[in-house]
């Protein structure tokens, strides 16, 4: 076993390095694990979040929360948790690896639904489980089951950011533009400023405006979304398409060219992760990962990979 920079390499699988934990911290973690075993996912999530607030370098709690979100298709929230962790622990390359995994190795809908149904039988009606079931059914085309579960989730947590966004996406895909417009309009009344200004709300506004025939407003909204997440491929591509419709040909060409570049970078990242090359990194691969992530505006993990590559290179130079 090789200990390296806060994580361990066992075979070809990187895992978070178990940092020192007190009896008090282990007790809190044990409670969360028991809640997970009992199928009480809402409580387990709250317990794990509370534990990480008190013990932010608890690798085991971070891993449990990551799996909790993975099994509920909550990729965005996994990314937010891991990036926040990297801000506090900028050289935890295991977290940087998991960030890549969560983007390119997602839970399969049917497998997720099977797990979630078992949980729902143990503890019926949990809001997070209903949301995940709704999303899973939607992904495999079971729209009636999806609608029922999503409505149940929204009725329990009408102000919950992820619930509102997934429900809005579902309704929009099914042509219910007015219902989505009503949900988006309510965002201004939310207490949490972060939720109000989630860039995905601007994506929804763009899609609504386009369906209502206002291409200029659709472009302004997606431009705002893209400014908040400048490396998001779908935003850049949408900017280009809307600029074309507005007759702004030169600008459209530049944005579509950028979208093509990002698509190539994304394909390269996908190939690296799906082949597992990121779990056995070389200095050269670390540098390439850093460059690719920088292109997507992911500077926190990018810098982690760059520093890690530099340390690997320095260790190779030592006699």
Residue 23 has pLDDT above 60, yes or no: no
Residue 147 has pLDDT above 90, yes or no: yes
In the numeric block, which tokens belong to residue 206? 């763009």
pLDDT value for 189: 55
Which ranges in the chain are annotated with CATH 1.25.40.10? 107-197, 205-271
pLDDT value for 25: 53
Q: Which of 290, 307, 312, 308 is nearest to 100 (CA)?
A: 290
Q: For residue 293, with 0-12 CB atoms within 10 Å meaning exposed, 13-18 middle and 19 or more buried, which class applies? A: buried
Residue 301 has pLDDT above 60, yes or no: yes
pLDDT value for 316: 80
Question: Mean of the pLDDT values across residues 133-137?
Answer: 98
58 neighbors 29 (Cβ within 8 angstroms): yes
pLDDT value for 192: 53
Question: Mean of the pLDDT values across residues 87-115?
Answer: 95
Q: How confident is the model at residue 19 (pLDDT cuts 50, 70, 90)?
A: very low
pLDDT by residue (tens digit) across 214-264?
Answer: 999 999 999 999 999 999 999 999 999 999 999 999 999 999 999 999 999
Question: Mean of the pLDDT values across residues 261-278?
Answer: 97
- CA-CA distance, 187 to 159, in Å (whole number)? 9
222 neighbors 202 (Cβ within 8 angstroms): yes
pLDDT value for 123: 95
pLDDT value for 184: 84
- CA-CA distance, 8 to 6, in Å (whole number)? 7
Q: What percent of the chain has pLDDT over 70?
A: 87
- CA-CA distance, 109 to 132, in Å (whole number)? 10
Q: How confident is the model at residue 317 (pLDDT cuts 50, 70, 90)?
A: confident
CA-based Rg of the chain, rounded to a whole angstrom? 21
With b meaning 16 or more CB within 10 Å and e meaning fewer, what string describes 96-121? bbbbbbbbeeebebeebbeebeebbe
pLDDT value for 198: 84
What's this model's pTM, rounded to 2 decimal places? 0.84
297 neighbors 229 (Cβ within 8 angstroms): yes
Question: Mean of the pLDDT values across residues 164-182?
Answer: 91
Residue 16 has pLDDT above 60, yes or no: no
CATH among 3.40.1110.10, 3.90.1010.10, 1.25.40.10, 1.10.287.3510 for 205-271: 1.25.40.10
pLDDT value for 190: 53
pLDDT by residue (tens digit) across 30-39?
Answer: 999 999 999 9
CATH among 3.40.30.10, 1.25.40.10, 1.10.3720.10, 1.10.1510.10 for 107-197: 1.25.40.10
160 neighbors 127 (Cβ within 8 angstroms): yes
């Amino acid at each position: 076993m090789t200990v390296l920079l806060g994580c361990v390499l066992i075979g070809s699988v990187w895992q978070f390095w178990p940092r020192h934990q007190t009896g008090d911290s282990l007790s809190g973690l044990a409670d969360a694990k028991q809640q997970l075993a009992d199928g009480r996912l809402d409580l387990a999530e709250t317990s794990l979040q509370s534990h990480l607030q008190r013990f932010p370098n608890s690798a085991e709690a971070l891993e449990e929360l990551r799996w909790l979100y993975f099994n509920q298709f909550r990729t965005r929230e996994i990314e937010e948790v891991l990036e926040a962790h990297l801000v506090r622990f900028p050289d935890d390359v295991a977290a940087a690896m998991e960030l890549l995994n969560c983007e390119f190795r997602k839970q399969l809908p049917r497998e997720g639904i099977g797990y979630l149904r078992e949980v729902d039988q143990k503890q019926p009606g949990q809001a997070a489980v209903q949301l995940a079931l709704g999303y899973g059914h939607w992904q495999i085309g079971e729209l009636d089951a999806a609608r029922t579960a999503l409505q149940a989730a929204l009725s329990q947590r009408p102000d919950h950011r992820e619930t509102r966004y997934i429900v809005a996406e579902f309704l929009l895909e099914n042509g219910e533009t007015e219902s989505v417009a009503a949900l988006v309009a309510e965002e201004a009344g939310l207490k949490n400023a972060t939720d109000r200004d989630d860039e995905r709300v601007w994506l929804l506004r763009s899609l609504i405006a386009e369906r209502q025939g206002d291409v200029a407003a659709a472009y302004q909204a997606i431009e705002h979304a893209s400014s908040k997440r400048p490396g998001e491929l779908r935003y850049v591509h949408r900017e280009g398409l809307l600029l074309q419709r507005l007759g702004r040909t030169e600008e459209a060409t530049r944005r579509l060219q950028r979208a093509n570049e990002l698509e190539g970078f994304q394909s390269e990242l996908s190939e690296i992760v799906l082949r597992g090359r990121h779990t056995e990194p070389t200095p050269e691969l670390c540098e390439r990962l850093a460059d690719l992530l920088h292109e997507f505006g992911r500077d926190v993990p990018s810098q982690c990979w760059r520093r890690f590559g530099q340390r690997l290179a320095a260790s190779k130079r030592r006699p």
